[in-house]
């Protein structure tokens, strides 16, 4: 796996990026033999299309790389970076001409295309090296890529090797090089320390539930990240059909994503105080399973009627969010692979988010556009509050009717984050269903890069 840019001291092959509409003009500035070669081989400057111009000795004199049109660039993220990564073995350098934002996307795309999940099967690393463009900070992009790789690795690992205990080990491994303290509350100690809903969801599994906490930094604003760590979700007694269980190793995608974001924050040395909370459980079936119809009392005292044991993520998050609000926090962010309703609304590419803070929403939306990490603001629609209020308890974990499932889940979580001055909830998918530029099929981070980009503006 390529993890770093090539040294600027190395001889590099020039890569000239050409807009489709400017192809004829660009070719007119090349030596006649190179222009003739490009025309003969049918180079049309389509987005990501590469033309290798040969030397007389059979090497590569230059690469022409198509930029397509503004319309095609808007439709396909990271196409230039993915094309650079697929070039033959060698070291390459982008010629001047791209805008700084496009250079940054191409460079990051090259890094992300180098990702390989090799825990169970070796895969060849990329052979094309890239010298970082002058307009980017190489170390910062490498830090961002390292956070994304961590998220992908955690999600891609099957539940047999990524249960609550292994997720704890992953947090400790992340924390160690940064000197970040980690504390864990496990098993029945959750009840003793008033985390009843984390315990209830995880108590049926062979591997004990736990609440994992990592802290870092001693100055600056307090940022708290809460990530859903359901390492496998059978649905509990409301058992999922087999087809719906196939991707449930990714139900800890919220935890994986906040850990990737934490890796970016710590690696960049951001001036803030970071707290990460991960309720890590398996939603399993046994005689100890919590049941439909049960009423659970959350850490903050609210009672919750269980109308579907497959709506367990919001339960474990509720206890973690309650803990988060018991201490000072300037920004509280919750990330979870929470509802299928979110996928119906925006599909797999877009991370919907909920917040009452217009400043955060504006900063995040602008950052998402800059870094190619799409998000979309959804409403905390107040009239739907009655949908999460059953007759015999304060809250209903799975309102009947099937309408507005992502919104009602977000409203449920907001009940446990009321005292936070700024709160945002992300209902992510965490999975790339088909290969795309710089995003192979499998686990993927969503919204973390956008949040990382937005934090300096949000916290100033």
Query: Any residues with CB less than 8 A from the CB of 403 and at least 6 apart, and which?
Result: 387
- Token pair of 179 as six digits: 């000197």
Query: Tokens representing 142?
Result: 């490498």
Beta bridge partners of 13: 92
CA distances from 195 to 75, 138, 169, 261 (A): 45, 42, 21, 25
Among candidates 412, 388, 392, 420, which has minimal Cα distance to 401?
Answer: 388
Joined tokens for residue 192: 């003793």
How many whole angstroms separate alpha carbon 15 and alpha carbon 13?
A: 7
- Residues forming a β-bridge with 225: 276, 333
Whole-number CA gyration radius for the chain: 24
Nearest to 396 by CA among 249, 294, 299: 294
CA distances from 289 to 17, 118, 188, 227, 460 (A): 58, 35, 14, 22, 46
Choose the catalytic residue: 314, 414, 415, 449: 314
Active site residue 240: yes
CB atoms near residue 64 (< 10 Å): 25
| Residue 277 Ramachandran class (φ > 0 left, ψ -120 to 50 alpha, else beta) | beta
What is the full DSSP assignment across 174-228? Answer: HHGGGT--EEEEETTHHHHTT-HHHHHHHTTSSSPPEEEEEEE-SSS-EEEEEE-
What contacts 63, CB < 8 A, 6 or more positions away?
13, 14, 15, 16, 50, 51, 52, 53, 87, 92
Nearest to 412 by CA among 288, 322, 291, 346: 322
Burial 410-435 (b: 16+ CB within 10 A, else e): bbbbbbbbeebebbbbbbbbbbbeee
Cα torsion 164, 169, 170, 171: sign: positive
Catalytic residue among 20, 39, 86, 240: 240
314 is catalytic: yes
Q: Contact 380/424 with Cβ under 8 angstroms?
A: no
Cite the active site residues: 240, 314
């Amino acid at each position: 796996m390529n993890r770093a840019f090539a040294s600027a001291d190395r001889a590099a092959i020039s890569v000239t990026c050409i807009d489709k509409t400017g192809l004829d003009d660009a070719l007119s500035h090349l030596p006649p033999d190179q222009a003739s070669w490009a025309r003969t081989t049918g180079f049309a400057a389509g987005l990501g299309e590469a033309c290798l111009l040969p030397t007389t000795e059979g090497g590569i004199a230059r690469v022409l790389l198509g930029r397509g049109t503004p319309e095609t660039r808007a439709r396909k993220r990271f196409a230039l970076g993915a094309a650079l990564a697929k070039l033959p073995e060698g070291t390459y350098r982008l010629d001047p001409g791209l805008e700084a934002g496009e250079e940054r996307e191409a460079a990051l795309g090259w890094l992300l295309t180098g990702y390989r999940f090799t825990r169970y099967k070796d895969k060849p690393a990329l052979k094309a090296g890239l010298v970082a463009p002058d307009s980017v900070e190489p170390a910062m992009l490498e830090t961002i890529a390292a956070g994304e790789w961590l998220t992908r690795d955690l999600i891609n690992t099957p539940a047999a090797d990524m249960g609550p205990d292994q997720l704890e080990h992953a947090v400790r491994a992340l924390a160690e090089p940064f000197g970040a303290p980690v504390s864990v509350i496990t098993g029945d100690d959750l009840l003793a320390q008033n985390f009843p809903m984390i315990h209830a969801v995880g108590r049926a599994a062979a591997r004990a539930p736990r609440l994992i906490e990592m802290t870092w930094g001693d100055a600056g604003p307090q940022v708290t990240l809460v990530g859903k760590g359901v390492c496998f979700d059978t649905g509990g007694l409301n058992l999922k059909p087999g087809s719906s269980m196939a991707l449930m190793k990714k139900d800890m995608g919220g935890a994986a994503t906040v850990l990737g974001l934490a890796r970016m924050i710590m690696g960049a040395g951001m001036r803030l105080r970071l707290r990460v909370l991960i309720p890590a459980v398996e939603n399993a079936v046994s005689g100890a399973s919590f049941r439909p119809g049960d009423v659970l009392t959350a850490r903050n005292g609210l009672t919750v009627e269980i109308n579907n044991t497959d709506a367990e993520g919001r339960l474990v998050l509720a206890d973690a969010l309650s803990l988060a609000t018991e201490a000072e926090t300037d920004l509280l962010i919750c990330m979870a692979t929470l509802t299928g309703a979110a996928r119906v609304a925006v599909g797999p590419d877009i991370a919907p988010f909920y917040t009452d803070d217009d400043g955060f929403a504006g900063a995040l939306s602008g950052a998402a556009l800059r870094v190619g990490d799409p998000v979309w603001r959804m409403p905390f629609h107040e009239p739907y509050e009655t949908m999460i209020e059953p007759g015999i308890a304060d809250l209903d974990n799975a309102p009947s009717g099937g309408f507005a499932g992502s919104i009602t889940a977000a409203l449920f979580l907001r009940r446990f984050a009321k005292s936070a001055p700024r709160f945002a909830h992300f209902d992510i998918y965490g999975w790339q269903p088909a290969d795309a530029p710089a995003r192979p099929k499998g686990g993927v981070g969503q919204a973390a890069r956008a949040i990382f980009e937005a934090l300096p503006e949000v916290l100033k």
